[in-house]
Every structure is written in structure tokens, then in C-alpha cells.
Amino acid sequence: MDNFKSKTLAMTAQKKILGKMANKTSVQMFIDDTTSEILDELYHISKHHTGNRTEAQKVIKNLIKIAVKIGLLFRNNCFSTEELVLATDFKKKLRQGAMTSTSFYEVDFTFDQAVMEDILTSCRDMLLKLVNTHLTPKSHGRIKHVFNHYSDPALLTALFDPNGPLRPNLAKICKGLDKLMEDGTI
């Protein structure tokens, strides 16, 4: 009991509560409208790709839980100086991914699957390193699930097909990403 810290206990409780309430209504308290619209489109893409509504919901729920938990860690100053540098590098890589996605969308037939896979894999690895000591292995599994899902070559190829059925979804995602980049969110 000598190592008892109420701040650690409070943080654990907050992460647990936020993990349990990752539904659309409660998430609106933590995620802005633009991000929510992007998440909706990512859900539709996942549902189309997997043909499974439950799996698509699980991917988005995992994405939301991770985003909220990392936001909670950041707001409570839980990251060391080295981890904050890694967080900055992650944000830069995420921004690069957003810019690359938008470029692939705007210029037909420029999509390079290897480039997108590399960006998503790098983001996944940086994020896992960032939260290594802060989140549980279950949360690490959620991060892997989300990034592995969206870096699936078949999903990426279908998403960036200029004549494919996911084109309207990609358009909305890119519009949202542009807004988030303009706002400095990513």
C-alpha cells in the first residue's frame, strides 16, 4: 500500500469509464463534429469492406476508445518529455497520411498502396511505443486491430479506386481531413 497514489487510481478509473462509454452519444462530448463525420465515413467503409456491421462497429469503437484514452493521458500530463517528442512525430506522420490521402483522392490513378501501408504501419508503431507503459495490452490490441484493418491492401485499393463505390466516402473523409489540417488539429 506504500505505492498507493490517488492520481493513478483516478486515471485508471477515468480510462475504465471512458472505455465503457464509447458510444456515439457520449463520444460527442470528447470528439468534434468534423472528426465524428470522418468516423461515420470510416464506419461505412469498414461495413462495405467486411460486409459485417458488427465488425465495422467494433473497429470504430476501438478507434474511439484509443483516441479518448490518449487524449485523457495527454490532458493529465502523463507523457514524459521523450514521449511528447514521439507524440509530435506521430502527429506529423498522421498529417502526412492525411495529406497523402487527399492527394491520392484529388489526382486519379496516383494511389500507391505501399505508401499508404507504410504510413499506417509507421503510425501504428509510433502509437504503440507512445502508450507502451500507459495502456494495457488489451488497448495495444485495439490499436493493432484498427491500424491493421485500415491498412488492409484490399480495403485501400477499393477505397482509392476512382470509379469505386467508396469514392463518395473518401470525398467526405478528405474534406474532413482538410478541415482538421486547416484547424491545426492534425
Angle at the Cα of 125 (from 146 to 20), degrees rounded to 5?
Answer: 40
Please check whether residue 80 is in contact with residue 130, taking contact to mean a CB–CB distance below 8 angstroms. Answer: no
- CA dist., res. 35 & res. 93, Å (int): 18
CB count within 10 Å of CB 90 equals 20
Residue 1's pLDDT band (boundaries 50, 70, 90)? Answer: very low
Phi, psi of 163 (to 5 degrees): -110, 10
All three cell numbers of 41: 465515413
All three cell numbers of 37: 463525420
What does the pLDDT look like over 52-71, one tens digit per residue? 999 999 999 999 889 888 98
What letter would DSSP give residue 107?
Answer: S
Domain boundaries, the chain: 32-183
- CA dist., res. 89 & res. 138, Å (int): 24
- What is the pTM for the complete model shown? 0.82
Mean pLDDT value across residues 64-86:
91
What does the pLDDT read at residue 185?
A: 82
What does the pLDDT read at residue 76?
A: 86
- CATH class for the region spanning 32-183: mainly alpha
What does the pLDDT look like over 88-142, one tens digit per residue? 999 999 999 999 999 999 998 899 999 999 999 999 999 999 999 999 999 999 9
